[in-house]
Amino acid sequence: IVLICSLVLMTSASFAQSKPKDMKVLRDSIFTVMKLSTANRQKMHDLIAENGKAQKAIKDDPALFYDQRPEKLEAWKKEITTKEKAILTPEQFQIWRDFAKSLNKPKS
C-alpha cells in the first residue's frame, strides 16, 4: 500500500510540473517573439479583451436566433482581423495567426 501511494504521489508531482502556462504568459511570450512595441502590445491586449467580451455578448444575446449567432460571430471575427492587421505588420500578423492555429490543434 505504501509503495502504491508513493507511485501515485510521484506521478501526480511529475504531471503538476508540466502544467501548461496561462494564456497571458503565452501571449506575452509570442508578443516578445513578434517584437511588439509597448504601445502595440497594449493595443493587442485591449483588442483581445474586447474580442472576448464581444464574442460572449453575441453568444449570450437572447435576441439572436440560434442560427444567427454563427453569422454574427463570423462577421465579428472579420472585424477583429481587420483591427489586428491595423496594429501588426504583415510578418507579425502571420506569426500571430500561426500562434492561434497552434493553440487550436487537438492535443494528442
Res 76: pLDDT: 93
Residue type, position 97, single letter: R
State how far the Cα of 74 lies from the Cα of 83, in Å rounded to an integer: 14
State how far the Cα of 91 lies from the Cα of 99, in Å rounded to an integer: 12
User: How confident is residue 7, by pLDDT bands cut at 50, 70 and 90?
Assistant: low
- pTM exceeding 0.85: no
State how far the Cα of 23 lies from the Cα of 65, in Å rounded to an integer: 31
Tens digits of residue pLDDT in 43-85: 999 999 999 999 999 988 888 888 899 999 999 999 999 999 9
When pLDDT is averaged across residues 25-40 and rounded to a whole number, the result is 89
Rounding to the nearest 10 degrees, give the CA dihedral for residues 63, 67, 69, 74: -150
